[in-house]
Amino acid sequence: MQRIFGLIKDRVGALLADGTVDRVIGWEKGEFLYDHTPAIFNAEDDLVDLVYDGFCASNLSKYLIDESKKDGKILALLKPCDTYNFNQLIKEHRINRDNVYVLGIECRGMLDIDKIRALGIKGIEKVEEQGDELYIQTIYGDKTCKRNEVLLEKCINCKGKEHVAYDELVTSGEDIPQVESNRFEDVEKLEAMTSDERFAFWRGELSKCIRCNACRNVCPICSCVECVFDNKDSVVASKANTDEFEENLFHIIRAFHVAGRCTDCGECSRVCPQGIPLHLLNRKIIKDINEFYGEYQAGQDTNSLGPLTDFTKEDVEPSIITEKGGEK
């Protein structure tokens, strides 16, 4: 990770210096060592604050909607999964491609601080990544753990290790260990439950929602000029939870608004302060789309029709759901 960071920093510095780009969007240190924050760097000298390690999960593509409207060219550091959102936003004409220089950067999967803590590692002062090992300095002494054991959910279920859009790639040439996973496993578990069990599960999860809007605000697809929930004329406007139905409504409508556009970047779940597995809503729709209409990955390209703006004459009937066997 140190090596790739060095390569990235050198390349970013060179592109700023030779005038290829005017600004850079990357990450800088946050308040804690595990919450690196998106940041804009305007000059080579500012790059001292640039960081890139296992805590740079945040997807920078959404920021390009506004940044690419400004004068000058911005360099964006995009991990493979981020480029899917980049493509999706290009498809929706939200990003001015001409003003963006995509530096595709290698990613070994991002780390989940909660999983590290769950291993009993507390009082963390520093995390050093060496290959597949993490060396963690804590106030109680040095600890180690396997990198793959503490990956973020979205990285365990990484949908694409390859960049789908870039102007230039920076890679270390090192092998990246693969994690075997079935990203629909949790969805399948829910599907196997009874209707009442599912209802109880989602009631339990969604009732934790405090309507902080973090999921919406981080979502690269939820980037409407004005959100329907904020628009008093939209008939569904609601800025806060007023009763238990509202969380349901908010999350169902949100899942539907991003249906066929969600790239499964997992940011919604990652940022949820209540730990609601919101990605399981989106992933259900993705699973359905794949099963009913053929494999589709939003953001794979910039021109295909999304599954909800397309059809075939032979599409399945909605009765495939309503007349499913078993209990009603």
Partner 1 sequence: MQKIGVFVCWCGSNIAATVDVKAVVDAVSHEPGVVYATDYQYMCSEGGQSQIRQAIKDFGLTGIVVCSCSPRMHESTFRKTAISAGLNPYMVEIANIREQCSWIHKDREDATEKAIILARTAVAKLNLNRPLTPGESPVVKRALVIGGGIAGIQSALDIAEAGYEVDIVEKSPTIGGKMAQLDKTFPTLDCAACILTPKMVDAASNENINLYTYSEVEDVSGFVGNFTVKIRKKARSINADICSGCGVCTEKCPSRKAKDEFNMGLSNRGAIYIPFAQAIPNVPVIDREQCIKFKTGKCGLCEMNCPAGAIDFKQQDELVERQYGAIIVATGFKPISLENFDEFSYSQCPDVITSLELERIMNAAGPTKGKLLRPSDNTPPRTMVFVQCVGSRDTSGCGKTYCSKICCMYTAKHAMLIKEKYPDIDVHVFYIDVRTPGKNFDEFYRRAVEEYGVNYIKGMVGKVAERNGKLLVQGSDLLADDQIIIEADMVVLATAIEPDESARNLATMLTASIDTNDFFTEAHPKLRPVESPTAGVYLSGVCQGPKDIPETVAQASAAAAKVIGLLAKDKLRSNPCVASSNEMLCNGCSTCENVCPYGAISYVSKEIRSAGKMEVRRVAEVNEAICQGCGACTVVCPSGAMDLKGFTNKQIMAEVDAICR
Partner 2 sequence: MSIEKTEDSNFEPLIVAFCCNWCSYAGADLAGTSRLSYPANVKIIRVPCSCRVNPMFILRAFQRGADGVIICGCHPGDCHYSTGNYYARRRMTLLFSMLDYLGIERGRTRVEWVSAAEGVKFSTVMNEFSKTIHELGENKKLRDLRCKEFLD
**Site residues, partner 1 (CB under 8 A):** 69, 92-94, 223-228, 231, 233-235, 257, 261, 305-306, 308-309
Instruction: Find the DSSP H helices in the chain.
Output: 2-17, 64-67, 80-91, 113-118, 153-156, 185-192, 195-206, 214-218, 244-257, 267-271, 279-293, 319-322
Among positions 128-187, residues that touch partner 2 (CB under 8 A) are: none
Residue 223: name its binding partner from partner 2, partner 1, none (Cβ under 5 to 8 Å by kind). Answer: partner 1
- How far is C-alpha 148 from the geometric centre of its chain's CA atoms? 18
CB of 93 to partner 2, least distance (A): 21
Contacting partner 2 within 194-223 (CB under 8 A): 195-204
- Sequence-distant (6+) residues with CB within 8 A of 55 are 33, 34, 35, 36, 110, 111, 113, 127
According to the binding rule CB under 8 A, does residue 309 interact with partner 2? Answer: yes
> Cβ closer to partner 1: 85 or 157?
85
Q: Which does 321 bind (CB under 5 to 8 A by kind): partner 2, partner 1, none?
A: partner 2
**Which residue in this structure is represented by tokens 């397309």?**
310
What residue type is 151 in one-letter code? L
User: In terms of CB distance, is 93 or 313 closer to partner 2?
Assistant: 313
Q: Find, among 218, 223, 251, the residue nearest to 236 by Cα.
A: 251
308 binds partner 2 (CB under 8 A): yes
Q: Which of 182, 312 has the CB closer to partner 2? A: 312
Residue number, 153 or 246, with CB nearest to partner 1 = 246
Which residue is listed with tokens 């990285």? 155
Q: What is the closest distance, in whole angstroms, from the C-beta atom of residue 221 to partner 1 in the complex?
A: 8
Instruction: Give the C-alpha separation, 59 to 163, whole Å.
Output: 14
Closest by Cα among 50, 177, 47, 43 to 107: 177
188 binds partner 2 (CB under 8 A): no
Residues 269-298 that bind partner 2 (CB under 8 A): 281, 284-285, 288-289, 292-293
Residue type, 211: R
The one of partner 2, partner 1, none whose footprint includes residue 252, by CB under 5 to 8 A per kind, is partner 2
Stretch in the footprint of partner 2 (CB under 8 A) among 37-45, 143-151, 188-196, 209-217? 188-196
Which letter does DSSP use for residue 256 in this model?
Answer: H
> In whole angstroms, how close is the CB of 160 to partner 2 at the nearest point?
23
Q: Which does 93 bind (CB under 5 to 8 A by kind): partner 1, partner 2, none?
A: partner 1
262 contacts partner 2 (rule: CB under 8 A):
no
Q: Structure tokens of 223?
A: 């980037």
CB atoms within 10 A of CB 10: 12
Q: Which is nearer to partner 1, 98 or 323 (CB)?
A: 98
Nearest-5° angle of CA 186, CA 191, CA 196?
A: 115
Cβ-based neighbours of 321, under 8 Å, separated by 6 or more? none
Q: Which residues bind partner 2 (CB under 8 A)?
A: 190-191, 195-204, 235-236, 242-243, 245, 248-249, 252-253, 255-256, 259, 281, 284-285, 288-289, 292-293, 307-313, 315-322, 324, 328
